[in-house]
Amino acid sequence: MGIIEKMKLDGKKGFVTGAARGIGKSTAKAFAEAGADVAIVDLDYDEAQKTAAELAEKTGRKVIALRTDCTDEKQVDEMVAEVVRELGGLDFCHNNAGICINAPAEEMTYEQWNKVININLNGIFLTDIAAGKYMLEHGGGSIINTASMSAHIVNVPQPQCAYNASKAGVIQLTKSLAIEWAKRGVRVNSISPGYIGTELTLNSPTLVPLIEKWNAMAPLGRMGTPEELESICVYLAGDTSTFTTGSDFVIDGAFTCF
């Protein structure tokens, strides 16, 4: 079997959180194109349904939509159980849901801090554990977490201490779970995207004025696209990455190199 055949995800089942749009939608599309059945998990159920229908039509795979608050342990557990029931198992997941609040540290409320930490870090923990429990009991699997280059640098000019701290926590959580589960068949890795031009980013009144500054600082002179994250996620979800666990993959166009 050649490497292209080995890269396929035929017969695999998985879910992506925050998948109604943006990075999550793009990776869910890639998983389905590679042959997997996928659950689109998002708080925005209407948009998740649209995405699921679109990907099912384009790829011919089984793609379902599930509404889940990833900060609610009961909902997360029920989501994983539903994925297993509807798709017939769980081989991989991409835990991608997250938010960012830009506010100077001295002005950021504790409520804002907690909201970011709860979604970006606690939500990843809950989805990792729920998926991991199933995988540990059923022969293993692959967990992919979305961290950020913001776990490695302090972004400028926007103030976002809660986001940076939450994403650094995601990387350390990823490494910790990878060590705990290494001999039990469950691999855990993270991706750390740089600035990515999603529909939300490119149309945000808050962020649009910053894009010119980011691009001026970027070695490649531009933002990345969601599609440029697809191949690493397909690799991590599949069987050619069986020696890869506890790693963080920085995909930032060399932004963090200086």
Q: What is the pLDDT of residues 190-223, one digit of tens each?
A: 999 999 999 878 888 888 899 999 999 999 999 9
Q: What is the pLDDT of residues 22-45, one digit of tens each?
A: 999 999 999 999 999 999 999 999
Our answer to whether residue 148 is catalytic in this structure is yes
Provide the token pair at 181: 């589960």
The reported pLDDT for the residue numbered 4 is 85
| Domain 3-251 coded CATH 3.40.50.720 | yes
- Annotated active-site residue in 142, 167, 192, 235: 167
Our answer to whether residue 167 is catalytic in this structure is yes
- Annotated active-site residue in 148, 150, 166, 192: 148
Provide the token pair at 103: 């506010």
Contact 249, 189 (CB under 8 A): yes
Half-sphere exposure of 202 (CA within 13 A, CB side): 11
- Annotated active-site residue in 134, 150, 163, 195: 163
Helix axes 161-181, 123-137, angle to 10 degrees: 10
Domain limits of the chain?
3-251
Q: Considering the entire predicted model, what is its pTM?
A: 0.97
